[in-house]
Chain A
Amino acid sequence: MVWSLQAIAAIAGALVLLIAAFLIGETLPVLQKVGFLPFFTDPAWNPTEALYNLAPMLWGTLFAAAGSVLLATPLGILSAMFCQYYAPAGIALLYRRLIELLAGIPSVVYGFWGLVTLVPLIGRLHPPGPSLLAGMLILTMMILPTVALTADASFAKVPPAYLQGAASLGLSRWGTIWGVVIPAAKSGLLTGVILETGRALGETMAILMVCGNVVQTPQSIFDPIRTLTANIALEMAYALGDHRSALFVSGLILMGLVTALVIVADAIAPEENHG
């Protein structure tokens, strides 16, 4: 019995290693040829002319993800708070159903909506329209359910005895939330933030449709950007040889980002993995 569980666990663990090995294997041709540094120091991303600077796309990915996390996190946590502690039962139920629905919309639909509605709107405000801002807003909508639902669940898990204790001390409702509920639910909230960040970093389709895909480090939120994921999706079908390998380097960097995120998460919340 134990050995079968061990085998299953080994398979699950090996998957990540296999993918990492595959990525590294695919990137080797170009890494051996030009090394790793040119991916950050070349003057441009122009793979057909052997120029492979990925740095602007790395910034694009980071800015878009950071912006959306900054917007979605307070929105999600505060709305979950309202739903748990202020809203009447009927409204809370409706709210949860709506958020679940939001989570179920395929990303290409968000992208399509963004392309025909959001982008022209931003274009009227500040041309051209497809921009870092559009990407941030679309991502915010896509990751909001993740953080809202995990926050809602972790608030629900706070033991009622804590709340009764707070009430018996005469704390106000806000005092209870700020002083008791948030510290108690901290690790759950953090998990939500990490999950949403991972999703924001990895999102491809919607970002590809609204961000404009110009390879440049954005100077303002109205500049078009290209993310690492969009770079792969845009060019993979047409790439051969070193160009193709260079796209796998995009993937490798992306995987490195997510790995770093997991490590940071472990460092910040050690208790979460052991309790």
Chain B
Amino acid sequence: MRLMRNRGYFAAFIVSLAASFGVQACSSSPQGTAPSSDGLTGKLILTGSSTVAPLVGEIAKRFEAEHPSVRIDVQTGGSSRGLADAKQRLADIGMISRALKPEETDDFQGFVIAQDGIGVIINKANSVGAISDRQLVDIYTNQIQNWREVGGEDAPITVVNKAEGRSTLELFLSYFQLQNSQIQADVIIGDNQQGIKTVAGNANAIGYVSIGAAEYDIGQGAPIHLLPVGGVEATVETVQDGSFPLARPLTLVTANPPSGLTQEFIQFAQSEDVHDIIKAQNFVPVQRKELAQTLR
């Protein structure tokens, strides 16, 4: 049963179709990661967030290309699984799409590899240009039910929320200080793509997705646009300079201070060698000095 779960067999067909690409499933247990004299050998297993997995999958491919006798398996299953697997040593490294919580820093070491912002999206046909945090909370808790009340047309608002357990949802709830049970959603979605398609197809919908994914789809012609949050424009640039408030670090976690192959891989994932991969995936590379802080 443990073996079945380890394979992420459900994760494979879940909505995160895109996330599944480049992600390999494997059921072996982690092995020794000591570097040999003529370079790195061994095997790494990473599990966790479906937001982080495609990025780490690409980074792992490049790492394998540079170190041919290293094999890296990346599996999805959500941030909670990343933490659980790292703790139980089922994975060498866990992937989470948030920062470590204060109570988790005793058990885990965290290494930020990139930033991701969460942007509020509405349909392009919607004339509303900006809404305050207060109004957004009222919309999500059904205090405001019509776009007219926030300066739009006379149309009922379709509230798009995320399914339980997703870290996007957690970050959204904690920033707006909401409980999930307070939210009165009209549609509940799984991944970013479903969210973007839902808002693109409904002129009165409002939702929230990864800014990287939204910018990419807007570039591809999706009829949506990003609203500012807390008065700050939602762009990759504001996420990068730290001014955008609704942002999250994509983090690698280990249960012990990393050594050997694990350490090599984490350093590689934080190096400038992978900034092009991070940008290609619509995430935001982290500045050197911020890294120093997270490493302490």
Contact = CB atoms under 8 A, between A and B. Distances in A.
Contact of B186 (A22, A128, A236): A128
Contacts of A240: 80-81, 84
A96 B156 CA distance: 44
Given A237-B50, A238-B78, A214 B188 contact: yes
B14 interface: yes
Contacts of A116: 197, 200-201
Given A46-B180, A128-B158, A233 B10 contact: yes
A237 B78 contact: yes
Contacts, number: 114
A234 B163 contact: yes
B164 A48 contact: yes
A47 to B, nearest CB: 7
B202 A119 contact: yes
A235 B15 CA distance: 10
Interface string B201-213: 1111100000000
A214 B187 CA distance: 6
SS of A interface (majority): helix
Given A46-B181, A128-B205, A129-B201, A237 B187 contact: no
Contact of A130 (B8, B180, B187): B187
B187 A212 contact: yes
Contacts of B202: 119-120, 123, 127-129
Contacts of A214: 185-188
B291 interface: no
A123 B11 contact: no
B201 A119 contact: yes
A149 interface: no
B10 A213 contact: no
Contact residues on B (Cβ < 8 Å of other chain), bracket: 35 or more
B189 interface: yes
B124 interface: no
B103 to A, nearest CB: 16
A234 to B, nearest CB: 4
A209 B181 CA distance: 22
Nearest to B197: A115
A237 B82 CA distance: 11
Interface residues of A, number: 37
B14 to A, nearest CB: 5
B166 interface: yes
A209 B77 CA distance: 20
A237 B14 contact: yes
B14 A123 contact: no
Nearest to A215: B188
Given A130-B187, A224-B186, A115 B194 contact: yes
Contact of B188 (A48, A127, A226, A232): A226
Given A115-B201, A233-B14, A239-B165, A25 B188 contact: no
A238 B181 contact: no
Interface in A242-262: 243
Contacts of A236: 10-11, 14
Contacts of A209: 15, 194
B204 A237 contact: no
A274 to B, nearest CB: 38
Contacts of B205: 128
A128 B187 contact: yes
A212 B194 contact: no
Contacts of B1: 22, 25-26
A47 B205 CA distance: 27
B81 A238 contact: yes
Nearest to A232: B10
A113 B79 CA distance: 30
Interface string B72-94: 00001111110010000000000
Given A25-B1, A128-B187, A234-B190, A213 B181 contact: no
B130 to A, nearest CB: 23
A208 interface: yes
A135 to B, nearest CB: 13
A267 B185 CA distance: 42
A26 B1 CA distance: 9
Given A49-B181, A129-B187, A235-B164, 13 more contacts: A47-B164, A115-B197, A123-B201, A127-B202, A130-B186, A214-B186, A214-B188, A226-B188, A232-B10, A233-B190, A234-B164, A237-B10, A237-B11
12 contacts: A123-B203, A127-B158, A129-B201, A130-B186, A226-B188, A234-B164, A234-B188, A235-B164, A235-B165, A237-B10, A238-B77, A239-B165
Pick the 7 closest A-B CB pairs, nearest first.
Answer: A238-B165, A238-B78, A128-B158, A213-B188, A120-B201, A128-B186, A236-B10
Interface of B: 1, 8, 10-11, 13-17, 50, 76-81, 84, 155-156, 158, 163-166, 180-181, 185-190, 194, 197-198, 200-205
